[in-house]
Amino acid sequence: MLAFLSRRKETTVPDPIAPQKPATPEVLMRFLTQGGATVELTKAVRAGRGTTYPFECLGCGYDFDNYSSIVDAREFANEHAEKCRAMPRHA
């Protein structure tokens, strides 16, 4: 009974949530893309622009830096991660 379970071939599946690299202290949030890459959201303070919350996808390279609200930046970064199918550039 249930002998067929013991004959199943074991396969190794890569961990889809393994981080590409350790987050730097400047990274406030990280989002996992559909392809396993990471979107990193940071905080930037620049003269003349004030505080912004840029984010960059480490899979496809898309970046955006025009939000002064972390709530808006988080939502947009998360939306990108939900749709982006890019895989990590550097495993």
Sign of the CA dihedral with 20 first, then 26, 32, and 35 last: negative
36 binds Zn ion (CB under 5 A): no
Work out how close the CB of 61 gets to Zn ion at its nearest, in angstroms, rounded to a whole number. Answer: 7
Residues of span 46-65 touching Zn ion by CB under 5 A: 57, 59-60, 62
Work out how close the CB of 68 gets to Zn ion at its nearest, in angstroms, rounded to a whole number. Answer: 22
Measured CA to CA, the distance from residue 56 to residue 58 in angstroms comes to 6
Q: How many residues bind Zn ion (CB under 5 A)?
A: 6
Work out how close the CB of 63 gets to Zn ion at its nearest, in angstroms, rounded to a whole number. Answer: 9
**b/e burial code for range 47-70 (CB count within 10 A of at least 16 → b):** eeeeebbbbbbbbbeeebeebeeb
86 binds Zn ion (CB under 5 A): yes
Using DSSP's 3-state secondary structure scheme, residue 70 falls into helix
Give residues in contact with Zn ion (CB under 5 A).
Answer: 57, 59-60, 62, 84, 86
